[in-house]
Amino acid sequence: MSNDCIFCKIINGDFGTEFVYENEHCVVFKDINPKAPVHLLVVPRVHVESLNELEDKNLMGELLMAVKETTKKIGLKSYRVHINTGKEAGQEVFHLHIHILGK
């Protein structure tokens, strides 16, 4: 946990954010500023700043399985996933996360 990280605070339950899906590896919640009718964020419980700092190769597998479980749970069959990495690519929150975008 990083004390000044908004996603660590959300994971910690500081804001009472509703989780659409969660397991031991990650939580999934709605993006506060949705860019599509369905816009969810899959966020690992461990604080990793971005893909550039990733060391645990198994973590990405767990996150993608969580994408699958979440979309199955909400009945979303078609969707895009993306990961912004670095400021110039549009990363605003430096806690690794996968966007799920669908209609």
**What residues line the site for ligand 5GP (CB under 6 A)?**
6, 29-33, 41, 84, 90-93
Respond yes or no: is residue 99 known to be catalytic: no
* Residues in contact with Zn ion by the rule CB under 5 A: 2, 5, 7-8, 47, 95
Report the nearest approach of ligand 5GP to the CB of residue 36 (Å): 10
Report the nearest approach of ligand 5GP to the CB of residue 60 (Å): 16
Report the nearest approach of Zn ion to the CB of residue 78 (Å): 30
- Closer CB to Zn ion, residue 5 or residue 74? 5
User: Can you say how many angstroms the Cα of residue 84 is from the centroid of all Cα atoms in its chain?
Assistant: 11
Catalytic residue, chosen from 25, 95, 97, 99, is 97
Among residues 90, 88, 98, 13, the alpha carbon closest in space to that of 48 is found at: 98
CA 83 – CA 17 distance, rounded (Å): 21
**Cα atoms in the 13 Å half-sphere on the side-chain side of 52:** 8
